[in-house]
């Protein structure tokens, strides 16, 4: 599948027609909506409405859709815990038991002091019951420390909930065998891994494109039956964007 960039920056490309082309021509079956937590906290109503519109488009197209609470600059998922809990209470009520909807509750926890045991797991243990109350069977993806690369502490101390996946992110110009070994470590402990973000640049999302390394990663993931989402469906002027900066976003007849 594909991920949007921050919907506060590139909302215009998220149209029904574009998503329809992605499904029919590109053969994606899941779309991830990156809703940055700090942008939501600053302007919740308009950001949330854009997310809801895109979720509904994906459902109408019979695709899976990931609602991504995209922490990044806030580092610690607990920074906006109250806002996250209110958001997931409302959204999981709106899409109660809808099999299309997947919840990603904290993108890329990061920072030297942000650990699985002390910050991320306690956050997840509070947010997951909020979603489960309204949607008991929905898949929930939980972020892992160090920009979704630190999998061993998770595998050694997993959450005690069913139907949980743990996110791992890679960029083929930066990450290689060491991260793949961490994935194997988790899989060997029966931990479900979901690559909810990846790209063929370095970790900055810009610079050169590492096609051979990316192909190697996809072969690895396919051999392990691991789902993956590519970053990003946007017309941002950077190497990791699917669309060029001059993509005619207002032309409904344009093919992606």
Residues with a known catalytic role: 108, 197
Instruction: Count Cβ atoms below 10 Å from residue 44 Cβ, excluding itself.
Output: 13
Handedness of CA 164, 177, 113, 111 (dihedral sign): negative
In whole angstroms, what is the distance from residue 203 CA to residue 1 CA?
A: 19
In whole angstroms, what is the distance from residue 105 CA to residue 102 CA?
A: 10
Instruction: Count Cβ atoms below 10 Å from residue 70 Cβ, excluding itself.
Output: 27
What is the full DSSP assignment across 102-139? EEE--S---STT--IIIIIHHHHHHHHHHHHHH-TT--
Instruction: State how beta strands 30-36 and 164-171 pair.
Output: unpaired
In whole angstroms, what is the distance from residue 92 CA to residue 121 CA?
A: 20
User: By CB neighbour count within 10 A (0-12 exposed, 13-18 middle, 19+ buried), where does 183 fall?
Assistant: buried
- Residue (of 82, 52, 80) closest to 67 by Cα position: 52
What is the full DSSP assignment across 138-171? --EEE--HHHHT--HHHHHS--S-SSEEEEEEEE
């Amino acid at each position: 599948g594909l991920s949007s960039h921050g919907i506060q920056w590139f909302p215009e490309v998220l149209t029904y027609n574009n998503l329809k082309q992605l499904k029919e021509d590109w053969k994606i079956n899941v779309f991830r909506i990156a809703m940055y937590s700090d942008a939501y906290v600053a302007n919740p109503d308009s950001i949330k409405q854009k997310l809801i519109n895109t979720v509904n488009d994906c459902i109408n197209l019979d695709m899976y859709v990931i609602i991504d609470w995209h922490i990044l600059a806030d580092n610690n998922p607990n920074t906006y815990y109250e806002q996250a809990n209110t958001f997931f209470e409302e959204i999981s009520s709106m899409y109660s038991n809808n099999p299309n909807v997947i919840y990603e509750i904290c993108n890329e926890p990061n920072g030297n002091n942000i650990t699985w045991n002390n910050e991320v797991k306690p956050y997840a243990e509070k947010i997951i019951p909020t979603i489960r109350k309204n949607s008991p069977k929905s898949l929930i993806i939980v972020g892992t420390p160090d920009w979704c690369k630190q999998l061993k502490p998770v595998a050694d101390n997993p959450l005690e909930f069913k139907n949980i996946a743990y996110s791992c992110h890679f960029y083929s110009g930066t990450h290689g065998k060491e991260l793949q070994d961490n994935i194997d470590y988790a899989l060997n402990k029966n931990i479900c891994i979901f690559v909810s973000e990846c790209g063929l640049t370095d970790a900055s999302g810009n610079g050169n494109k590492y096609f051979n390394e990316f192909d190697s990663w996809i072969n690895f993931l396919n051999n392990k039956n691991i789902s993956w989402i590519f970053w990003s469906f946007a017309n941002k002027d950077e190497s990791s964007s699917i669309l060029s900066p001059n993509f005619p976003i207002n032309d409904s007849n344009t093919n992606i």
